[in-house]
Each structure stands twice: as C-alpha cells, then as structure tokens.
Amino acid sequence: MGGLLPINWFFLFVGKLVASDMKWITKCLKNYAVFNGRAGRDECTYFFLFVTFIQVFFLTIDLLIGWKFQNIIDGIPWYPLFEISRLLTVLPAFAVGVRRLHDLNKSGWWILLIFTGIGIIPIVYWCCFLNSDKDDNQYGLSPTQ
C-alpha cells in the first residue's frame, strides 16, 4: 500500500503551516515582549499552533532519546528539551495573548486565567474563535486595517 506514513503527514502539515503563515510566527517572535497594541485572530491562532507543535516535537524527542530526569517533586519527570521550549515560548505566547485580548477590547489581565487550569478554555475561545473588534478601541488601531 503506497502512501505516506502518519509521521510524514504530520511533517507535511507542519511544513505547509509554517511555509504559508510564517509571517505571523515571525511577527510574534519579534514582538516577544510587546504587551501593548492589538493582535488579530490569525496571528494569535497560528502562533499558538506553532508553539503547540514545537512543544509536542521536543517532548517526543525527549521521550525517544529517553531523557527523563528526576524533578523536585517526586513522581513528576523533567524533560529538558520540552522544558527549554516552554521557557523560550512562554513570554511570546503571553504577549500575543494579551494583544489578542486587547483586540477583543478586554483587559490583558484576563490572560492570568490560564493559571487556574480551567481558565484555559475561555482564553482559547476568546483568542482563537471570536472575531476582532472591528473599530479602533482604547488599545489601538484595528490590526485588519
């Protein structure tokens, strides 16, 4: 049976995602500590997907290599590549999340809901599924203009 293996489908999808929408990813990485202004839905969604794929990729590499170290808390392993990817992407992810909330005319402080665990659900809904505030708001010009 000819065709691509499932892992090849994954890399094909990621390759198309990165190739077609790399401008959003590079914009988020360049503005890694900019918490003012607005970010559109595409910018936020593509960056969140990129961060998710990067972290899954590095976690898979850690598991395949067998890199698992003991953590301070017993029973919870520490995966070095995965943790480094989390450290490198946490600030840009928070920044784009805050800018996206500004785009919806919400305070950026709502991003702190993520720390409650269940608060991830409204943040993902607001950031990835709601349409932007069409007009200019207190946080700046519409990113679609």
- Sorted by where each begins, the domain ranges of the chain are 20-128
User: pLDDT, tens digit, for every residue of 33-76?
Assistant: 999 999 988 889 989 999 999 999 999 999 999 887 777 777 77
Collapsed DSSP state (helix, strand, coil) of residue 54: helix
User: pLDDT, tens digit, for every residue of 68-99?
Assistant: 777 777 777 888 999 999 999 999 999 999 99
Query: Tokens 């946080």 sit at which residue?
Result: 139
Contacts of 112 (CB under 8 A, 6+ apart): 119
User: Bigger pLDDT: 9 or 144?
Assistant: 144
pTM value is 0.79
